[in-house]
Chains A and B, each alone.
Chain A
């Protein structure tokens, strides 16, 4: 079927345009670069941004991993993998280690990333200041002049309302001591993985038509107050499948009596551990 489409679905001109935008994004870490987002054969909100970036950088030798909320086998992950298998005939994998490109929705894998790997995030809302300041013209100026007081207002409101910084996902970060960036809705648990990461991280927002990036070995700092510092979530019990105490856990309710268990959100990591460890 692949002969009906250009390699990886998008035409070469579009891919070139996206790659140029990505280079610009790499050059200005954390800055949202507009690009001519194309219509993709799936609805906005299902990963049109991420898919375009993946299509633009995919080569014949690449091995692709796609995760959705840490899982390799949900509908979104499977469909996107199938899409690229069909249109580009490339290798797909569930192994974080073997993948050269990892497209992700809402997680960074637990297995540490390596030099040469590329993370592609699907981003719904690229503008971290949007909730405070809805005018795009104004937020562009706030970024340009580094007026980031308003971002702290959001954290202030959290503490005033909940007594702590209650933002648990899409936790704003400052990249390379300059731009404030939304790390897409990853849990704040994953924020430290962005800091000085050896991999490249690309963020693609399809509906908003923005691309931004964190180059390898770049400082990524989660915002906080002097007296209310950035904290990670923690769980009282280990993963009930692999026993990990250092991984991000999902809570699963198993019956109507309120019985619940905690398991790793990263399925590949969990599987690898339970097969290798026991």
Chain B
């Protein structure tokens, strides 16, 4: 755990009765939770349990069937599900970040690392090349990528570097919330460890709030303050990470915890 979340402020995000159906199939159903500033919450569960659907609803990428997602913007709470697209996209490029499982979906592969980091700055009106360049270099350093590679294409980067670049490209405008969809899957264990290390540093330094979707319980334990366990689109258990992982109550959670491979 990386420092205690700040409880004095109002929640950044309030998810209320959120449901998403795909025809007869349940994506996620009746989801409720809140995210406080500086807090990292994890959503865990097996593949197909609705984790990513939930995250996409929060990010405004999918329109939920029912329920509300209140976001604490500078103008008070906004229901993201009822907002028009222009506002959603504005929030998505300033106040929230979205890190995808596959870095190809989150980065522009034909554009240099510096360009990828700079895009969000330029999208928010920065028109000074020197300044953009300086900030991009700083961020490369922050996510532990050699600044000399600023003009290289992400294609020439390793999977772990691409993922760190994606994080830098999202954090450059200092969003309030980071939404992460399985950021560590597909990376080998040592690369995962480095990514988690970088993320933990950023969380404590920037007081970042994060919703982390993962099926990797080890990552969840290292990163998250609180955990929500999902099964068949519903949250079946929630609580502090250590509590859930050390003392799971529901049979499904027990199964999930006991199925972690131990070397």
**Which residues on A are within 8 Å of B, measured CB to CB?**
132, 141, 144-145, 147-150, 152-153, 156-157, 159-161, 225-228
A161→B111 CA distance, assembly (Å): 11
Asked if B119 and A157 sit within 8 Å, CB to CB, the answer is: no
Q: Is B10 in the interface zone, CB < 8 Å from A?
A: no
Min distance, Cβ B116 to any Cβ of chain A, angstroms: 8
Q: Which of B57-65, B121-129, B184-192 contacts A (4 or more CB under 8 A)?
A: B121-129
Which residue, of B86, B123, B128, has the highest number of chain A Cβ atoms within 10 A? B123
Chain B residues within 8 Å of A227, by CB = 128-130
Asked if B114 and A156 sit within 8 Å, CB to CB, the answer is: yes
Asked if B119 and A153 sit within 8 Å, CB to CB, the answer is: yes
A228→B129 CA distance, assembly (Å): 7
Interface size class of B (residues with CB under 8 A): 20 to 34
Q: Quick one: which of B96-143 are within 8 Å of A by CB?
A: 108, 111-112, 114-115, 118-124, 127-130, 132-133
Q: Which 8 A-B pairs have the closest CB atoms?
A: A149-B123, A149-B122, A152-B122, A225-B129, A226-B128, A153-B115, A145-B86, A153-B119
A225→B127 CA distance, assembly (Å): 5
Asked if A160 and B108 sit within 8 Å, CB to CB, the answer is: no
Chain B residues within 8 Å of A152, by CB = 122, 127
Asked if A149 and B119 sit within 8 Å, CB to CB, the answer is: yes
Chain A residues within 8 Å of B133, by CB = 160
Chain B residues within 8 Å of A160, by CB = 112, 114-115, 133, 150-151
Task: Determine chain B's interface SS by DSSP, over half rule.
Answer: helix
Asked if A225 and B86 sit within 8 Å, CB to CB, the answer is: no
Min distance, Cβ B244 to any Cβ of chain A, angstroms: 39
Chain B residues within 8 Å of A157, by CB = 111-112, 115
Asked if A225 and B128 sit within 8 Å, CB to CB, the answer is: yes
Question: A152's closest neighbor in chain B, by CB?
Answer: B122
Question: A228's closest neighbor in chain B, by CB?
Answer: B129
A228→B128 CA distance, assembly (Å): 8
Q: Is B200 in the interface zone, CB < 8 Å from A?
A: no
Asked if B129 and A132 sit within 8 Å, CB to CB, the answer is: no
Q: Is B247 in the interface zone, CB < 8 Å from A?
A: no
Min distance, Cβ B74 to any Cβ of chain A, angstroms: 19
Given contacts A149-B124, A150-B123, A225-B129, contact A161 B89 (CB under 8 A): no
Q: Is B93 in the interface zone, CB < 8 Å from A?
A: yes
Apart from A147-B93, A149-B119, A156-B122, what are 20 other A-B pairs with CB-CB below 8 Å? A145-B85, A147-B123, A149-B93, A149-B120, A149-B122, A149-B123, A150-B119, A150-B123, A153-B108, A153-B111, A153-B119, A156-B129, A157-B112, A157-B115, A160-B112, A160-B114, A160-B150, A160-B151, A226-B129, A227-B130
Which residue, of B115, B121, B133, has the highest number of chain A Cβ atoms within 10 A? B115
Question: A225's closest neighbor in chain B, by CB?
Answer: B129
A211→B93 CA distance, assembly (Å): 30
Contact of A141 among B89, B114, B150, B151 (CB under 8 A): B89
Question: A150's closest neighbor in chain B, by CB?
Answer: B119
Given contacts A132-B111, A147-B89, A147-B123, contact A153 B118 (CB under 8 A): yes
Chain A residues within 8 Å of B111, by CB = 132, 153, 157
Min distance, Cβ B122 to any Cβ of chain A, angstroms: 4
Q: Quick one: which of B134-184 are within 8 Å of A by CB?
A: 150-151
A149→B114 CA distance, assembly (Å): 14
Can you show 19 pairs from A to B with CB atoms below 8 A apart? A141-B89, A145-B86, A145-B89, A147-B123, A148-B123, A149-B93, A149-B122, A152-B122, A153-B118, A156-B114, A156-B118, A156-B132, A157-B111, A157-B112, A160-B115, A160-B150, A161-B112, A161-B151, A226-B128
Chain A residues within 8 Å of B89, by CB = 141, 145, 147
Question: B86's closest neighbor in chain A, by CB?
Answer: A145
Min distance, Cβ B94 to any Cβ of chain A, angstroms: 11
Chain B residues within 8 Å of A145, by CB = 85-86, 89-90
Min distance, Cβ B248 to any Cβ of chain A, angstroms: 43
Question: A149's closest neighbor in chain B, by CB?
Answer: B123
Chain A residues within 8 Å of B130, by CB = 227
Asked if B127 and A226 sit within 8 Å, CB to CB, the answer is: yes
A149→B123 CA distance, assembly (Å): 4
Chain A residues within 8 Å of B115, by CB = 153, 156-157, 160
Given contacts A149-B124, A226-B127, contact A132 B108 (CB under 8 A): yes
Chain B residues within 8 Å of A141, by CB = 85, 89
Question: A133's closest neighbor in chain B, by CB?
Answer: B108
Min distance, Cβ B85 to any Cβ of chain A, angstroms: 7
Min distance, Cβ B127 to any Cβ of chain A, angstroms: 5
Question: A151's closest neighbor in chain B, by CB?
Answer: B122
Question: A226's closest neighbor in chain B, by CB?
Answer: B128
A150→B116 CA distance, assembly (Å): 10
A187→B111 CA distance, assembly (Å): 24
